[in-house]
Amino acid sequence: MQNLIEIKGVTHAYRTKNGPLPVLDRLDLCVPKGEFCAVVGPSGCGKSTLTRLIAGLMKPDQGEVWLHGEQITSPRKTVGMAFQNPVLLEWRSILENVILPLEIVAPKMPRAEREARAHHLLAMVGLDGFEHKRPSELSGGMRQRASLCRAIVHKPDVLIMDEPFGALDNFTREDLWQTMRELRAAEPFTCVLITHDLRESVFLGDQVVVLSGRPAKAQFVLNVDLPADRTIDVLYEPKASEMLHILRDQIRIAQGREAH
């Protein structure tokens, strides 16, 4: 399968007042087109740094980041991003928030077409009827659904998500995982997800990459061999339990502790 994202030998250190802080060390990572790559690792190991590099928001000291066969050295319109905080604009309705990337990326697209695209996505995530509300009138889970629509409205090649479900309660989070899988089934996009939640990584991922402690390398890659049309119940099956067990051990190793 063709790789959409290729990270080759990326090494990076931040310059701090106490000297260089090495964060990534010759990190290699490939994500085939259409795949969902979940990245887990100890806190502070460099996961968000990795997303900034893929998004072209910063350049590595050494190594290369390739997207769609092009080396990334600056931000791209073909990358969508979603964060823990949905950062929706309060002075715009939910519909207008979702349309925003199209105004920037496709200014010539007729308004009716932009609205139709936004309505379609909002209906898919269960927000039909809420298009004209302001963000503050919605629950946290609904705001995150709207922010996911905004992140993919312009059909980016890759969606980068940095702990997008981290601030939600368990039930809302699991609902959103299911929504995420439905969205991907309808609009296959390549995805990189940073998460602390191993269940989330297994439920959403096609592959789970465990980063080592700082400076991070790709320590372990798990291929998630579960049915594509999985529901949350799959996490209670022995195969998923075994994967979670392996990942938990890998995280302990990454943290410099003994595996069980």
CB nearer ligand ADP, residue 21 or residue 106: 21
Binding of ligand ADP by 48 (CB under 6 A)? yes
Q: Which of 7, 29, 47, 220 binds ligand ADP (CB under 6 A)?
A: 47
Pairing of strands 70-71, 62-67: antiparallel
Burial track 94-114 (b if 16+ CB lie within 10 A, e otherwise): bbbbbbbbbeeebeeeeeeeb
Does residue 215 have a cis peptide bond before it, meaning omega lies within 30 degrees of 0? Answer: yes
Question: Are 119 and 157 in contact, with CB atoms under 8 Å apart?
Answer: no
CB nearer ligand ADP, residue 135 or residue 215: 215
Binding of ligand ADP by 55 (CB under 6 A)? no
Binding of ligand ADP by 16 (CB under 6 A)? yes
Q: How far is the CB of 158 from ligand ADP (least distance, A)?
A: 18
In the sheet with 62-67, reading across from the earlier edge strand, the strands are 19-32, 3-16, 62-67, 70-71
CB nearer ligand ADP, residue 2 or residue 43: 43
Binding of ligand ADP by 84 (CB under 6 A)? no
Residues in 166-205 at the binding interface with ligand ADP, rule: CB under 6 A? none
Q: How far is the CB of 100 from ligand ADP (least distance, A)?
A: 26
Stretch that binds ligand ADP, among 1-9, 16-24, 101-109, 150-158 (CB under 6 A): 16-24
**Which DSSP category does 216 fall into?**
B
Task: Give me the DSSP letters along 171-194.
Answer: HHHHHHHHHHHHHHHHS--EEEEE
Q: What SS3 class is residue 168?
A: coil
Binding of ligand ADP by 21 (CB under 6 A)? yes
**Interface ranges with ligand ADP (CB under 6 A):** 14, 16, 21, 23, 43-49
